[in-house]
Amino acid sequence: MCRHVAWLGTPRTLTALLRDPPHGLLRQAWTPRRMLHGSINADGFGVGWYIPEMRMEPARYRRAVPIWTDASFASFAGVTRSECVLAAVRNATVGMPVEETSTAPFTDGQHLLSHNGRVDVDVPMHMLAAARDAPVPDSRCDSALLAALVWQRLGTGACLADAVADVVIAAGGKDGAARLNLLVTDGIQIVATTWGETLSYRVSPDGEDAGMHVASEPSDDGDGWVDLDDHRLLVADTRNVTISSLI
């Protein structure tokens, strides 16, 4: 159910991050190697990136088509460079709409968020209905509703890691079959969860590609990738990673 990736570090092009790696997100759209549920991610894709010297709000490009069919993305990905990128390819949950507004990354104007998994849509809907000052979600799909819940928690003053953990634990407690791998960034840090799906990270401390790579699955067979156990919360910057339990 979807694959996603985030990069935080030295500026890299979208092509270098997503299209060039032998098992990068482009390849994962049609032949993921570790996806536990589903076999292809052809229900849309999206990319978000930050260029803080131009504006604080992240830019986004989202389509409800397979990533390999989009010649426009291929044409500008090689000339778009950023220190922080979050991208996803989508395998839509059965019954969820296949449209641009249901495609990650979602944003509140500051953060980017992707959801790899599924949850009974009634769970986040009821949680939003009970929450104070909850924002209107982009879509009625499960992922957009989860994003709105994270934005609501942030609006109460919670830090990013606490907001993400709170939503995942609460939703997972209400739906025992939920899969809740969230990947979120504010351009300065990456926060991610494992809850029913795979996640790996790699720290590259030196050279032109120094930074933090967090992904549903490794984009290559090189050294340094670390696989996370289930029910974990990852908080990372360009060099440091903190892992804690969600249960």
Sketch the domain layout of the chain as residue ranges: 3-245
pLDDT at 95: 81
What is the pLDDT at residue 207? 77
* pLDDT at 19 exceeding the cut of 90: yes
Q: Give the residue, 97 or 174, on which the prediction is more confident.
A: 174
DSSP label at 72? H
Q: Could you list the active site residues?
A: 2
Residue 48 and residue 199: Cα distance in Å, rounded? 19
Tell me the per-residue pLDDT of 60-92, one tens digit each, with 9 for 90 and over: 999 999 999 999 999 999 999 999 999 999 999
The CA distance from 60 to 13, in Å, is: 14
Instruction: Encode pLDDT of 108-125 as tens digits.
Output: 999 999 999 999 999 999
Phi, psi of 5 (to 5 degrees): -155, 145
Which of the four pLDDT bands, split at 50, 70 and 90, describes residue 13? very high
**How far, in Å, CA of 104 to CA of 4, rounded?**
9
Q: How confident is the model at residue 205 (pLDDT cuts 50, 70, 90)?
A: confident
93 has pLDDT over 90: no
Instruction: Decide if 64 contacts 98 (C-beta within 8 A).
Output: yes
185 has which bridge partners? Answer: 112, 190
Q: By the 8 A CB rule, do 242 and 236 touch?
A: yes
Residue 150 has pLDDT above 80, yes or no: yes
Which one-letter DSSP state was computed for residue 36? Answer: S
Grade residue 59 by pLDDT with cuts at 50, 70 and 90: very high
Answer yes or no: is pLDDT of 8 > 80: yes
The average pLDDT across 143-149 equals 98
Average pLDDT of the residues in 188-202: 98
The average pLDDT across 138-157 equals 96
- Looking at every residue in the chain, the average pLDDT score rounds to 96
Query: What is the tens place of the pLDDT at every residue in 207-226?
Result: 778 999 999 999 999 999 99
- In this structure, what DSSP letter does residue 105 have? P
CA distance 92 to 117: 9
Q: Does domain 3-245 have CATH number 3.60.20.10?
A: yes
What is residue 241's predicted lDDT score, i.e. its pLDDT?
Answer: 97
What the block records as the tokens of 70 is 């989009």
Q: State what percent of residues in the chain have pLDDT above 90.
A: 93
**pLDDT-above-70 percentage for the chain:** 100
DSSP string, 132-164: TTPPPPS-SSHHHHHHHHHHHHHHTT--HHHHH
